[in-house]
Amino acid sequence: MYNNRYGTGSRNTRFGSQRNQRSGGSFNRRGQGTPIHESKFIKKISAVIAPVSEAVTQKFEDFKINDALKQNIARRGFTIPSPIQDKTIPHILEGKDLIGVANTGTGKTGAFLIPLIEMLKTNKHNKVLIMVPTRELGQQIASEFRMFSFGMNVYSTLCIGGSNIRAQIDQLRRNPHIVIGTPGRLKDLVERRILNMSSFTGVVLDEVDRMVDMGFIQDMKYLLALLPKERQSLFFSATVSHEINTVIQTFSKSPMTVSVKSQDTAQNVEQDVVRVGRGGFKMDVLQDLLKKEEFQKVLIFGRTKMGVERLATNLYQKGFKVTSIHGDKPQFKRTQAIRMFKENVVKILVATDVAARGIDIPDITHVINYDQPATYDDYIHRIGRTGRGDKKGIALTFV
């Protein structure tokens, strides 16, 4: 336990004090207490495991894509596709409907962007809608698209809430090849008669499970129903529930399923708990941890917007280089916070679960669950921000 290693907390209680259970326990979507068993937060790793390469059958240069796209991929330092890319790209290039199931951080974005860019380059009349649950994931996909499509004369527009809708309308009137957006903003643009859903030849739903979890299922169905019947449909998700499967079967034609998900949590993330005993103060324990040299780049999760902002302010007043991200922040400040964290202007980012999906920031050394996640699924996506690729990460959960 981390209380032994760092001398924090007490072993007097199994799951913290009653006060800590009330302030940091787990709750389901209806607000009812559903604590995750402490054992779920503990996992030791003896050695870092390199990404699986045995299952990969080809290199990027072997794919039937044009040379400009291959050069852009190589410029990013990629030579061998990830398993999900290796198994999905050929089928997407053939125009098949597909369900891709893989853990976070496995290259799902490249798995659909690379073949879609090739198809757009081949036929400029193609047009693709990419639907995502969060603004941050939309921004990440837009950034990846620009890098993969550099110099190829294919263009995208990002349509997310919190950003200037007039600018988005102007960009849509230029008829971009790809529209990336969150369900709420896309629906708004449809109702304003700015976005014509009948013009799309393909659709991608990324992080479908998260969209359902966030309550977007009706907006998803509304938008999918407006698309042409003849189209290519791609669904990517870490999990596929009965509800998600019903949506997929309703809005696709005999989709093939490609799954490379081997386990729930990232294999290179060492997981442990930090005990705060009776009378202990979580803030003091957290400060002691963050002062340690190995805590180089830390993502801290809190449960509420107010709590996250308060925690970030307290850490800043204690002299830490820190910023925060949550739903009440204007979009430009959320973007700025992520940029500062990515570029090491600050070493600590405090976030609500809005950052658990779609934030791909390299070299995060630690994820700290200052407040326990609402569900185990949320926990998986939180700690998936570290230990990516062949690097080790550490996830700590306060109990």
Give the pLDDT band of residue 55 (cuts 50, 70, 90): low
Do residues 13 and 278 touch, judged by C-beta distance below 8 A?
yes
Interatomic CA distance for residues 212 and 242, integer angstroms: 11
* CA gap 236, 89 in Å, rounded: 13
∠ Cα 324 325 330 (to 5°): 115
Select from 3.40.50.300, 3.60.15.10, 3.40.109.10, 3.30.1950.10 the CATH code of 2-48+264-398.
3.40.50.300
With cut-offs at 50, 70 and 90, classify the pLDDT of residue 106.
Answer: confident
Half-sphere exposure of 382 (CA within 13 A, CB side): 31
3-state secondary structure of 154: coil
Report residue 336 as tokens: 């700025």
In this prediction, residues 95-107 reach a mean pLDDT of 86
Common-topology check for domains 2-48+264-398 and 60-259: yes
Nearest residue to 207 (alpha-carbon basis) of 157, 158, 266, 137:
137
Other Cβ atoms closer than 10 A to 164: 10
Asked whether the predicted pLDDT for residue 49 surpasses 70, the reply is no
For residue range 26-47, list pLDDT tens digits in order: 444 434 446 788 888 888 765 5
- For residue range 364-396, what is the model confidence (pLDDT) as tens digits? 999 999 999 988 878 888 888 888 766 789 999
Judge residue 263's burial from the number of C-beta atoms within 10 Å of its C-beta, 0-12 exposed, 13-18 middle, 19 or more buried: exposed
Closest Cα partner for 235 from 211, 258, 260, 206?
206
Sequence ranges of the domains in the chain: 2-48+264-398, 60-259
- Whether domain 60-259 has CATH 3.40.50.300: the reply is yes
Distance CA(292)–CA(295), nearest Å, equals: 6
Q: Which of 7-16, 89-98, 147-156 has the lowest mean pLDDT?
A: 7-16
- Per the rule left: phi > 0, alpha: psi between -120 and 50, beta: everything else, 207 is left
pTM of the model: 0.73
Angle between helix axes 242-250 and 217-225 (nearest 10 degrees) is: 10
Q: Is the dihedral of CA 178, 338, 75, 73 positive or negative?
A: negative
How does strand 348-351 pair with strand 393-398? unpaired
> What are the C-alpha distances in Å from 269 to residues 43, 48, 51, 383, 384?
8, 9, 13, 7, 8
